[in-house]
């Protein structure tokens, strides 16, 4: 019996799969627009959003979804978000401009992240909600504001030993209270905000609990926060088969110890620490092991009991206190809504027999350099035929740099590819396509195209030209004038 071939099957959205399976469709797009390309699927984005809403509608009377624009530069996604009636989280002047051009009014834009003087002045002029990162920013807003500036206060440091470069540390919030209280005529304090990179529900619950305590404290300063912004960080599911993923990773770890066939390029250990005959640590690709969808994370979060509140759930406590919950999902809305397509230029063998498949793409267009894409690409052969024995390969990039390997782990293909074959990297929409893409060797980044299904047909256009045909979404749950909020004191 021979061991099964190690594989990392990718989960692929049915709409994306249908496009890839349409005979000649991908090749036609590349013939028209060139190679390589990023394909975005705004209808998949819209479907992710619909699923978010259906979970939140069940548990929360009031909420606001702010799409975190930085996950992808796609204008089609931003247009889709605008048309669907949600809000947007922008993190640069350029993202604000894109949002405004796509139809977002200032009431639907929130700005997070570090902001310098110039950006801050612009946001104040426009009346855009500022998610304040630090005390300098808050003091500067107080000095510059002429009319009431809507402000959220980002806080951080909920767990001991947890460091973040963002937000006001819990221990410094008192200074913020003093500023907010002293400048109530110029600052409309909406409430507290946090954002955790972690997918851990327990961590998120502790952060919510800490913010609820801050809400209580804020009343003591005459402030009446009405928003709790719990940020993003809802995870993606990349793999179609967790068992095969685990088996691949097991074989990879064995190979790092010198057992079995080599599976890594050069001296790459993927963040593992190999010592004393064992493999330790968490790999750079740990997100690919996730099997819990964002919607499940959300449902678990809002139905979790809060000890300090007599076991009432997060959703119940938020609603008891008339708090609007704001969320800033980025990757979860873009999950499965983008792929990257490149072409095989040539296949070569190096001295030890290792096979390299060279593409017209560079690594930074499919993944930030310090990470690793751990789902198998889909090969679309230009023509049939050729030998069909499985072959283990590394995908190499177009740059004249030793490090421009697109995969540092070995990928097994059903057959050795040929020049002209197309290679599709699944699920590159969130942070893979453009977060790190550079113009090394004067090569422009791949063109971005939007793909939409109308009836049985697919239409492909430049991302910038895409106009959504969505029905107008239900209006975002708006804040209503509120009675005096009540926060229960400690549970008996
Ligand atoms: C990046 C970012 C997000 C989005 O995070 P995801 O993990 O993509 O959901 C949300 N809020 C803030 C403040 C961010 O910086």
Burial of 108 by CB count in 10 Å (0-12 exposed, 13-18 middle, 19+ buried)?
buried
Q: 47 lies in which domain range?
A: 43-235+290-327
474 occurs within a structural domain: no
Residue 52 shares a structural domain with residue 191: yes
Residue 383 shares a structural domain with residue 342: yes
Residue 146 shares a structural domain with residue 230: yes
The answer, yes or no, to whether any atom of ligand 1 lies below 6 A from the CB of 232, is yes
For residue 487, give both structure tokens: 């926060």
The CATH number assigned to the domain holding 319 equals: 3.20.20.10
Residue 157 shares a structural domain with residue 28: no
472 occurs within a structural domain: no
Residue 133 shares a structural domain with residue 260: no
For residue 488, give both structure tokens: 């229960």
Residues in the chain: 492
Residue 154 shares a structural domain with residue 260: no
271-282 pLDDT tens trace: 999 999 999 999
Residue 182 shares a structural domain with residue 115: yes
Cβ atoms of residues 169 and 214 within 8 Å: no
222 occurs within a structural domain: yes
471 occurs within a structural domain: no
67-111 pLDDT tens trace: 999 999 999 999 999 999 999 999 999 999 999 999 999 999 999
Q: What does the alpha-carbon distance between residue 95 and residue 72 come to, in Å, rounded to a whole number?
A: 10
The alpha-helical segments, DSSP class H, found in 102-200 are 117-126, 135-144, 173-182
- The structural domain count of the chain equals 3
56 occurs within a structural domain: yes
Q: What does the alpha-carbon distance between residue 166 and residue 132 come to, in Å, rounded to a whole number?
A: 9
Residue 89 shares a structural domain with residue 170: yes
Q: What does the alpha-carbon distance between residue 148 and residue 127 come to, in Å, rounded to a whole number?
A: 8
The answer, yes or no, to whether any atom of ligand 1 lies below 6 A from the CB of 83, is no
Atom of ligand 1 nearest to the CA of 197: 7
3 occurs within a structural domain: no
Strand 447-454 relative to strand 457-462, pairing: antiparallel
351-392 pLDDT tens trace: 999 999 999 999 999 998 889 999 999 999 987 766 678 999
488 occurs within a structural domain: no
CA 89 to centroid of ligand 1, rounded, Å: 8
CA distances to 291, 302, 304, 309, 371 from 297, rounded to whole Å, are: 11, 9, 11, 21, 24
Q: What does the alpha-carbon distance between residue 110 and residue 254 come to, in Å, rounded to a whole number?
A: 47
Summary mean pLDDT of the chain: 93
Strand 447-454 relative to strand 37-40, pairing: parallel
Residue 375 shares a structural domain with residue 402: yes
CA 466 to centroid of ligand 1, rounded, Å: 24
Report pTM: 0.94
- Percentage of the chain beyond pLDDT 90 is 88
Pocket test for ligand 1, best of 64, 71, 74, 297 (most atoms within 8 A of CB): 71
285 occurs within a structural domain: no
**Nearest CA to 347 among 398, 413, 267, 418?**
418
Residue 405 shares a structural domain with residue 314: no
Residue 131 shares a structural domain with residue 163: yes
Residue 228 shares a structural domain with residue 321: yes
pLDDT score for 491 = 36
Task: Kindly report which listed range (80-84, 94-98, 213-217, 483-487) carries the lowest average pLDDT score.
Answer: 483-487
Atom of ligand 1 nearest to the CA of 334: 8
| Maximum Cα interatomic distance, the chain, rounded to a whole number of Å | 77
Q: What does the alpha-carbon distance between residue 360 and residue 126 come to, in Å, rounded to a whole number?
A: 43
* C-beta atoms surrounding 136 within 10 Å: 12
CA distances to 2, 76, 259, 417 from 127, rounded to whole Å, are: 66, 25, 61, 55
The CATH number assigned to the domain holding 369 equals: 2.40.37.10
Task: Tell whether the model's pLDDT for residue 239 goes beyond 50.
Answer: yes
């Amino acid at each position: 019996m021979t061991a099964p071939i190690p594989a990392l099957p990718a989960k692929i959205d049915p709409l994306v799969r249908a496009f890839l399976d349409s005979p000649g469709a991908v090749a036609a797009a590349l013939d028209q627009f060139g190679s390589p390309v990023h394909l975005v699927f705004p209808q998949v984005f819209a479907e992710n959003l619909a699923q978010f809403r259906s979970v939140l509608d069940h548990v929360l009377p009031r909420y606001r979804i702010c799409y975190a624009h930085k996950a992808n530069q796609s204008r089609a996604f931003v247009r889709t978000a605008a048309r669907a009636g949600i809000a947007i989280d922008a993190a640069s002047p350029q993202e604000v401009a894109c949002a405004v051009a796509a139809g977002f009014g200032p009431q639907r834009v929130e700005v997070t992240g570090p902001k310098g003087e110039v950006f801050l002045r612009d946001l104040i002029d426009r009346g855009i909600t500022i998610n304040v990162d630090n005390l300098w920013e808050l003091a500067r807003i107080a000095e510059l504001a002429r009319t009431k500036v809507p402000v959220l206060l980002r806080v951080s440091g909920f767990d001991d030993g947890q460091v973040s470069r963002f937000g006001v540390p819990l221990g410094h919030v008192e200074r913020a209270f003093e500023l907010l209280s002293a400048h109530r005529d110029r600052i409309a304090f909406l409430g507290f905000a946090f954002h955790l990179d972690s997918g851990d529900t327990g961590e998120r619950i502790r952060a919510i609990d800490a913010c609820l305590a801050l809400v209580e404290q804020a009343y003591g300063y005459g402030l009446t926060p009405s928003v709790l912004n719990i940020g993003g960080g809802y995870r993606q599911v990349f793999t179609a088969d967790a068992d095969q993923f685990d088996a691949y990773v097991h074989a990879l770890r064995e190979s790092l110890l010198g057992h079995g066939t080599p599976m890594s390029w050069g001296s790459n250990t993927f963040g593992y620490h190999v010592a004393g005959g064992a493999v330790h640590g968490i790999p750079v690709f740990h997100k690919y092991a996730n099997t819990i969808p964002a919607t499940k994370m959300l449902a678990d979060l809002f139905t979790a009991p809060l000890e300090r509140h007599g076991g009432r759930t997060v959703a119940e406590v938020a609603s008891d206190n008339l708090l609007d919950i704001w969320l800033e999902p980025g990757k979860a809305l873009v999950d499965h809504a983008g792929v990257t397509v490149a072409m095989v230029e040539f296949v070569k063998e190096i001295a030890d027999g290792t096979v390299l498949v060279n593409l017209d793409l560079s690594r930074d267009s499919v993944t930030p350099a310090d990470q690793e894409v751990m789902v198998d690409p889909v090969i679309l052969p230009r023509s049939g035929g050729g030998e069909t024995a499985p072959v283990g390969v590394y995908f190499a990039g177009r740059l004249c740099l030793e490090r421009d390997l697109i995969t540092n782990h070995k990928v097994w293909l059903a057959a050795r590819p040929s020049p002209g074959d197309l290679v599709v990297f699944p699920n590159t929409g969130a942070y893979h396509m453009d977060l790190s893409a550079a113009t090394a060797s004067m090569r422009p980044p791949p063109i971005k195209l939007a793909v939409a299904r109308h009836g049985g047909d697919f239409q492909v256009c430049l991302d910038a030209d895409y106009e959504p045909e969505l029905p107008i979404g239900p209006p975002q749950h708006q804040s209503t004038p509120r009675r005096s909020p009540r926060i229960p004191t400690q549970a008996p």
